């Protein structure tokens, strides 16, 4: 079976690994000329760790990552609103944080090497195969083409009935990695129309993310470090100490937070995976996990059913309900967490503080357990 994967990000590389474990060597093309050093932190839940175990990569993740036991939401003063253990009975591997660069390195170590600096210029998908013209002038014919090319997917435009524009959440996000550990838990602090997240990483580093309500594509509201500090000055520990470690602004990654759900994920011999099919807002920290789960599920179906329409249809019917649920929950959580009204925030915070831990734990367990069709180790 000849498979082309367009996009050598988390989902595309995970599919390369998953197919390779089943004896299929895929071609992967990646638009970027080099992987570089970019990215910030990522949290892989116990379910995604189990999928990584199925790919025989969990030991590499554990070696490079940092195990986390608790997720805590506080208000800007540090008062705890909700605290949820990551551990879920029956899922023995710990939730693990790691630098995105390390996750990509681990996936690349086990997947076919992508052709870097190459994109797809033309796709002609028929019932028997797909003819592809690449940006370097080369051509190929494949049994199936997988669009793992992210939220702005080009392949999605070639899947009949799938094209869709991303939806903007109303808030934007900056990310960076700083020296130091400030908490052992994953902490997210909710302020007025803004949040600060502090996530421990291996090697005594922390991943810090900052959100702010803003119009789409607005420039940052600061021009220098003093302005940056003033924007998030209202946050207590651990945000205060983590932000004190920021000494330059040129390394900040900046993304408007959007989501996007393709109305259809496949057509003839072309199929979408990861953010290309279903980008979710990062409020539940599940986007990369969903892409890895998709990869494991799709590889199993292609290996057992061949590159058939039945396999692609089954893939969408197994994966879409989960992606939709996570997208909706994540969108709602993001909206609530970015509220500005003092009255609404006061009520929200009181309600959250009163909610028993078992309720939040139950919701997290549902996310972890609900992975039909995804092989785990
Ligand atoms: C601020 C923020 C924080 C996040 N935090 C988390 C988190 O903590 N945990 C988590 O699980 N998820 C998180 N996510 C989500 C996660 O980053 C994505 O869901 C994940 O990267 C999706 O992987 P993907 O492979 O589908 O897409 P991508 O990672 O976007 O990869 C797509 C790849 O395709 C390449 N490409 C694009 N177009 C073409 C083309 N035409 N031809 C060839 N190659 C192409 C790109 O260069 C890229 O390498 C976060 C997202 C954001 C924005």
DSSP string, 60-91: HHHHHSEEE-EEEEEETT--EEEEEE--BTTB
- For residue 132, pLDDT beyond 90: yes
pLDDT at 47: 94
- Rg, C-alpha atoms of the chain: 21
pLDDT at 126: 81
Which CATH number is 3-166+258-369's, of 1.10.260.40, 2.130.10.10, 3.50.50.60, 3.90.1170.10?
Answer: 3.50.50.60
Q: Which atom of ligand 1 is nearest to the CA of 42?
A: 8
- Burial 260-287, CB ≥16 within 10 A → b, else e: bbbebbbbbbbbbbbbbbbbbbbbbbbb
- DSSP class per residue in 289-352: HHHHHHHHHHHHHHHHH-S-HHHHHHHHHHHHHHHHHHHHHHHHHHHHHT---HHHHHHHHHHH
Rounded-to-integer distance, Cα 353 and Cα 334, Å: 18
Which ranges in 173-308 belong to alpha helices (H)? 225-231, 239-244, 275-278, 287-305
Q: Is the CB of 8 under 6 A from ligand 1?
A: yes
Rounded-to-integer distance, Cα 195 and Cα 34, Å: 32
Residue 57 — pLDDT band, cuts 50, 70, 90? very high
Rounded-to-integer distance, Cα 285 and Cα 221, Å: 26
How close is the Cα of 122 to the center of ligand 1, in Å?
A: 22
Could you tell me what percent of the chain has a pLDDT over 90? 93
Average pLDDT over residues 206-224: 97
Could you tell me what percent of the chain has a pLDDT over 70? 100
- For residue 38, pLDDT beyond 80: no
Mean of per-residue pLDDT scores for the chain: 96
- For residue 36, pLDDT beyond 90: no
Rounded-to-integer distance, Cα 248 and Cα 17, Å: 37
Out of 275, 327, 331, 333, give the residue to mutate to test ligand 1, the one with the largest number of ligand atoms within 8 Å of its CB: 275
pLDDT at 277: 98
Distance of CA 233 to the CA centre of its chain: 28
Cβ 108 vs Cβ 20: under 8 Å: no
pLDDT at 153: 97
Out of 4, 7, 145, 284, give the residue to mutate to test ligand 1, the one with the largest number of ligand atoms within 8 Å of its CB: 7
pLDDT at 360: 87
- Interval 282-309: pLDDT, tens: 999 999 999 999 999 999 999 999 999 9
Q: Is the CB of 197 under 6 A from ligand 1?
A: no
Is pTM beyond 0.85? Reply is: yes
Residue 224 — pLDDT band, cuts 50, 70, 90? very high
- Burial 114-153, CB ≥16 within 10 A → b, else e: beeebbbeebebeeebbebebeeeeebebbbbbbbbbbeb
Residue 114 — pLDDT band, cuts 50, 70, 90? very high
Average pLDDT over residues 23-34: 97
Instruction: List Cα–Cα distances, 63 to 28, 47, 98, 263, in angstroms.
Output: 26, 18, 10, 39
Q: Is the CB of 173 under 6 A from ligand 1?
A: yes
Q: What token pair was written down for 175?
A: 């990310």
- For residue 146, pLDDT beyond 90: yes
Classify residue 265 by its DSSP letter: -
Helix (H) or strand (E) holding 10: helix 10-21
Burial of residue 154 (CB within 10 Å: 0-12, 13-18, 19+) is middle
| β-strands 70-75, 3-6 pairing | unpaired
The full set of domain ranges for the chain reads 3-166+258-369
Nearest CA to ligand 1 atom 49: 9
Out of 149, 212, 260, 368, give the residue to mutate to test ligand 1, the one with the largest number of ligand atoms within 8 Å of its CB: 149
Q: Is the CB of 31 under 6 A from ligand 1?
A: yes
> How many Cβ atoms from other residues are within 10 Å of residue 222's Cβ?
14
How close is the Cα of 229 to the center of ligand 1, in Å?
A: 28
**Helices 309-337, 287-305: inter-axial angle, 10-degree rounding:** 170
Q: Which atom of ligand 1 is nearest to the CA of 276?
A: 26
**Which among 332, 331, 336, 305 has a CA at the least distance from the CA of 318?**
305
Longest Cα–Cα distance in the chain:
61
pLDDT at 367: 87
> How many Cβ atoms from other residues are within 10 Å of residue 248's Cβ?
9
Q: Is the CB of 285 under 6 A from ligand 1?
A: yes
């Amino acid at each position: 079976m000849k498979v082309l994967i367009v996009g050598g990000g988390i989902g595309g590389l995970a599919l390369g690994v998953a197919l390779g474990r089943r004896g299929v060597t895929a071609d992967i093309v990646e638009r970027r000329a080099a992987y570089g050093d970019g990215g910030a932190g990522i949290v892989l839940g116990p379910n995604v760790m189990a999928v990584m175990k199925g790919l025989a990569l969990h030991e590499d993740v554990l070696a490079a990552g940092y195990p986390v036991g608790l997720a805590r939401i506080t208000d800007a003063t540090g008062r705890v609103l909700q605290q949820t253990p990551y551990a879920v009975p029956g899922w023995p591997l710990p939730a693990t944080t790691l630098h995105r660069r390390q996750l990509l390195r681990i996936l690349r170590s086990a997947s076919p090497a992508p052709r870097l600096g190459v994109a797809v210029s033309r796709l002609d998908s028929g019932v028997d195969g797909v003819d592809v013209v690449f940006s370097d002038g080369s051509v190929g014919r494949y049994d199936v083409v997988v669009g793992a090319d992210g939220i702005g997917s080009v392949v999605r435009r070639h899947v009949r009935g799938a094209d869709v524009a991303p939806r903007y959440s109303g808030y934007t996000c900056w990310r960076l990695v700083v020296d130091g550990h400030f908490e052992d838990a994953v902490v997210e602090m909710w302020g007025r129309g803004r949040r600060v997240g502090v996530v421990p990483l291996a090697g005594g580093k922390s991943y810090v993310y900052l959100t702010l309500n803003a119009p789409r594509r607005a420039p940052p509201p600061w021009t220098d470090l003093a302005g940056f500090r003033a924007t998030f000055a209202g946050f207590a520990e651990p945000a205060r100490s983590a932000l004190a470690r920021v000494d330059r602004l040129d390394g900040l990654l900046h993304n408007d937070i959007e989501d996007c759900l393709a109305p259809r994920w496949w057509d003839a011999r072309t199929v979408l995976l990861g953010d290309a099919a279903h980008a979710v807002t990062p409020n539940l920290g599940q986007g990369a996990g969903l892409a890895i789960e998709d990869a494991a599920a799709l590889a199993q179906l292609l290996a057992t059913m061949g590159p058939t329409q039945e396999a692609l249809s089954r893939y969408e019917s197994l994966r879409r309900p989960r992606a939709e649920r996570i997208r909706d929950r994540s969108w709602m959580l993001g909206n609530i967490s970015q509220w500005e009204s003092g009255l609404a925030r006061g009520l929200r915070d009181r309600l959250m503080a009163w909610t028993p831990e078992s309720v939040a734990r139950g919701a997290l367990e549902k996310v972890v357990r609900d992975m039909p069709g995804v092989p785990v180790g």
